[in-house]
Amino acid sequence: MVVGFLATLMSLTVHEFAHAWMADRLGDDTPRRHGRMTLNPLVIIAAHPVGALVAPLLGAANGFLFGWAATPVNPARVRRGINMRTADVLISAAGPASNVLLAVAAGGLFYLLQSVEADWTAPLRLLTACLVVSNVLLAIFNMLPVPPLDGYHVLSAKAPESWRPVLNTIEQYSFLLFLLVFFKAGSLIMPVLMHIIPNIILYTWAVGPV
């Protein structure tokens, strides 16, 4: 339970910091003014106590990784010379991209620890395995083109004007679409994970359901 909670919290913290870092680099000082330019997980918990504390704890207690958070950004505040749509794409994509990088780093550490035969490595192996799963899940889920996920911001910013009627319809039913995706995401994404990281998925199942 502790390991699952830590993996979720670490993944959320890195994801939201990446949004804040990219916005700040582009000239949007909104995250900095809200004190979000930090990797301190307590800041995320204070801002989203349900999504970053209660939900991850309940999820970990029931054998799955679950949580959410958000970072205040305003692409309209980026410095001159940067297109607002481009800024929206870069800021939105930074979160999932950071999760991919963290998953790769955790995966490398997981396989390194697999070669070390010592009892003290067991909790670290489980933590790195959970980090891989949680970060791949976050990256894939957040890139789905449904509001308010990052993938929809990328789609909306890059779509031609002729797509506007379709996007308006998606936005009109965004809440229902999000609920559908939320409750079906596990069954849709898990087969993908079994193809991408089968050994790590099987390891987490052997130690405890994730």
Active-site choice (16, 117, 161, 171): 16
Residue 16: active-site member: yes
> Cβ–Cβ contacts within 10 Å for residue 187, how many?
8
Residue 30 carries which DSSP code?
H
φ/ψ region of 48 (left if φ > 0, alpha if ψ in -120 to 50, else beta) reads: beta
Q: List, in order, residues 6 or more apart from 59 with CB less than 8 Å away.
A: 4, 5, 8, 65, 66, 67
Cα separation, 123 vs 101, in Å, equals 21
Rounded to the nearest angstrom, the gap between the alpha carbon of residue 91 and the centroid of all alpha carbons in its chain is 13
Q: Which residues are catalytic?
A: 16
